[in-house]
Amino acid sequence: MAETIVTPLRPKRPCPECGRPSQRATFPFCSPRCKDIDLNRWLSGAYAIPVRDDEEDEQEATTGTGDRS
């Protein structure tokens, strides 16, 4: 029988936490430990989209909810 070459669906990438090669079962991480570290960062709020103060001021001005003293 001829051997069949299987092409992976996704390219191999390093683990975003430690840099080791990722594993199929925990993709894109290399282990359940690195996966749990990332989850903890999301749940604790370490990953957040920064908001500038001037964006909040612009939003208040357009909606009319700003404090006008």
Torsion angle of the four alpha carbons 13, 16, 22, 28, in this order, in degrees rounded to the nearest 10: -90
pTM score of the predicted model:
0.56
Whether residue 19 is contained in a domain is answered as: yes
Domain count, the chain: 1
Q: What is the mean pLDDT of residues 56-63?
A: 67
User: 19: annotated binding-site residue?
Assistant: no
Whether residue 54 is contained in a domain is answered as: no
What 3-state DSSP class applies to 47? Answer: coil
Q: Which residue range is the domain that position 36 belongs to?
A: 13-46
User: 68: annotated binding-site residue?
Assistant: no
Whether residue 2 is contained in a domain is answered as: no
Separation of alpha carbons 21 and 41, rounded Å: 21
Q: pLDDT value at position 65?
A: 61
Q: pLDDT value at position 6?
A: 77
The model's pLDDT over 7-55, given as tens digits with 9 standing for 90+, comes to 777 677 899 999 999 998 999 999 999 999 999 999 999 988 888 877 6
Whether residue 37 is contained in a domain is answered as: yes
Q: pLDDT value at position 9?
A: 72
User: 36: annotated binding-site residue?
Assistant: no
User: 59: annotated binding-site residue?
Assistant: no
